[in-house]
């Protein structure tokens, strides 16, 4: 089976860079995949993609050695299994509040006897290799998002969930949980301290911690603090920032 680069980098003690796909288009996915991210996530929760958009986007990513990841819209077995069958090598599950919910997500990603994933890797076997089903349980990465009051209250139990690979911080929803205004790259001391607590609890339980960032500067700080994966930027954010930069420069030069 094709090895999962995320797991290889983690085993080597390296931080993984993750890019984000909010736009539902194969060409956008291909362009982002060719930029050098270690992994790239198709967002089904807040992006414009639907499940029918996933397979051509994963095909585009597969032209490179970038690892294909999917954030599902909700913690439901069917879409998790579907994304895996289409070739996702990593799954991000939002709004995980309890150890039971984390275990449910893990089970959907693992074949029996350790999980409940149904057999039918229609595209995954083409991407992963003929021995995909024999080795998928060891290669697929499952990440649970910690971003609610209940999730924080159950943090240690969630991180101790057998088979869970990482916890993923959603900074905007975490801001809500802390009584703060939702924003990315939140500099509030309470927010930063909470993120560090999530990091420490994850590492204490032998799993990884991921920080969702909005800038290279904040991502660099997260790497220095010990995070194992940083989401750096999205296709949409880059398009907006690039267009705004050029337009503002034109206006300034022609004022």
Q: Say what the pLDDT of residue 185 is.
A: 96
Q: Which residue has the tokens 């029996």?
A: 112
Closest CA to 144 of 107, 113, 184: 107
**φ, ψ (nearest 5 deg) of residue 88:** -65, 140
Q: Say what the pLDDT of residue 240 is.
A: 97
Q: Say what the pLDDT of residue 12 is.
A: 98
Question: What pTM value is reported for the model?
Answer: 0.97
**φ, ψ (nearest 5 deg) of residue 240:** -65, -45
Q: Say what the pLDDT of residue 182 is.
A: 94
In the chain, % helix, strand, coil (3-state, to 5) comes to: 50, 15, 35
When computed from its CA atoms, the radius of gyration of the chain, rounded to whole angstroms, is 18
Q: Say what the pLDDT of residue 2 is.
A: 97
d(CA 204, CA 104): 22
Class at the top of the CATH hierarchy for domain 5-254:
alpha beta
- What is the CA 177 to chain-centroid distance, rounded? 20
Q: How many helices (H) and strands (E) does the chain have?
A: 13, 8
For the stretch 57-71, pLDDT in tens is 999 999 999 999 999
Alpha-helix runs per DSSP H in the chain: 5-11, 26-33, 51-61, 77-85, 99-109, 124-128, 132-139, 149-153, 155-159, 171-177, 189-204, 216-225, 235-254
Q: Say what the pLDDT of residue 163 is.
A: 98
Q: Say what the pLDDT of residue 33 is.
A: 98
Catalytic residue among 46, 191, 203, 212: 46
- As given in the structure block, the two tokens for residue 63 are 């032209």
Which residues are paired to 68 by β-bridges? 40
Closest CA to 84 of 72, 66, 101, 95: 72
Q: Say what the pLDDT of residue 40 is.
A: 98
d(CA 7, CA 141): 8
For the stretch 190-208, pLDDT in tens is 999 999 999 999 999 999 9
Q: CB–CB of 123/174 below 8 Å?
A: no
Report residues of the chain scoring pLDDT below 70. none
Q: Which residue has the tokens 């890797």?
A: 121
Three-class secondary structure of residue 76 per DSSP: coil
Known catalytic residue at 46: yes
Q: Which residue has the tokens 């290799």?
A: 129
Q: Say what the pLDDT of residue 197 is.
A: 98
Q: CB–CB of 80/109 below 8 Å?
A: yes
């Amino acid at each position: 089976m094709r090895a999962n680069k995320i797991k290889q980098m983690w085993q080597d003690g390296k931080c993984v860079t993750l890019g984000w796909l909010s736009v539902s288009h194969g060409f956008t996915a291909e362009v982002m995949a060719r930029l050098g991210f270690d992994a790239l996530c198709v967002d089904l929760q807040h992006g414009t993609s639907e499940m029918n958009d996933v397979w051509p986007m994963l095909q585009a990513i597969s032209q490179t050695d970038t690892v294909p990841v999917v954030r599902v819209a909700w913690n439901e077995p069917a879409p998790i299994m579907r994304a895996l069958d289409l070739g996702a090598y990593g799954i991000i599950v939002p709004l995980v509040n309890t150890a039971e919910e984390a275990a449910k997500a893990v089970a959907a990603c693992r074949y029996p006897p350790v999980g409940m994933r149904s057999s039918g890797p229609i595209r995954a076997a083409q991407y992963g290799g003929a021995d995909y089903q024999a080795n998928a349980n060891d290669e697929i990465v499952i990440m649970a998002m910690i971003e609610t009051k209940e999730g924080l209250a159950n943090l240690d139990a969630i991180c101790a969930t057998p088979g869970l690979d990482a916890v993923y911080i959603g900074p905007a929803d975490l801001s809500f949980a802390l009584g703060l205004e939702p924003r990315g790259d939140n500099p509030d001391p309470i927010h930063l301290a909470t993120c560090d607590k999530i990091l420490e609890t994850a590492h204490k339980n032998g799993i990884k911690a991921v920080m969702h960032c909005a800038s290279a500067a904040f991502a660099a700080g997260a790497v220095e603090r010990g995070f194992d994966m940083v989401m750096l930027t999205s296709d949409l954010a880059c398009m907006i920032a690039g267009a705004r930069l050029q337009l503002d420069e034109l206006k300034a030069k022609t004022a």
